[in-house]
Amino acid sequence: MGIKRTLLRGFAAGVATVALIAGGASAASALEYTPNPANSGQTITVTSNSSLAADSYRVGICTSHGIGLFQAPACGAMSNVAHPGGRQLVTTIPGVSKTRIANMHKKLPGHAETFDCSTAGACEVVIVKHRWYGSTTVERAPLVFN
């Protein structure tokens, strides 16, 4: 049983990665955050002006590129949001840092404990729909720091 679970977890991680990278918002995303540019260590307010479906979402920070064997982005500072649907989604991400963000994907091959957003274009604010079989990025916007 242990080997089957390990294989299934590996497969699920690969599927989640493909869904996270393949699924995404169009170039004209309705996702905004303030302040923009962000100040390291301060809270940002994230707003989606699209008509997202009623569902549970995760809102946070991810690298704009894949890392390691599965090419999954490093992600952190995630918060869970239950959205009633059909109207604006607004939430906050407290203490958004430019460096040393705890990586929730640290157990995937090639991932480190933390990641960094100090280089221009390195990270983005994301809204992600999580399911047991994977994740889909619903909206994204480049994260810019002062």
Residues 112-124: pLDDT tens digits? 999 999 999 999 9
What's the rounded Cα separation, in Å, for the pair 109 and 68? Answer: 6
**Which DSSP symbol is given to 107?**
T
Tell me how many domains the chain contains: 1
| Cis status of the peptide bond prior to 37, with omega within 30 of 0 | yes
- Please check whether residue 83 is in contact with residue 55, taking contact to mean a CB–CB distance below 8 angstroms: yes
pLDDT of 3 reads 53
β-strand partners of 91: 46
Mean confidence (pLDDT) of the chain? 83
3-state secondary structure of 75: strand
Give yes or no for residue 20 having a pLDDT over 70.
no
Q: Please provide the size of the chain in residues.
A: 146
Domain of residue 9 covers 2-142
Model pTM score: 0.78
Q: Which two tokens stand for residue 61?
A: 């920070």
Q: What is the CATH number of the domain that holds 57?
A: 2.60.40.230
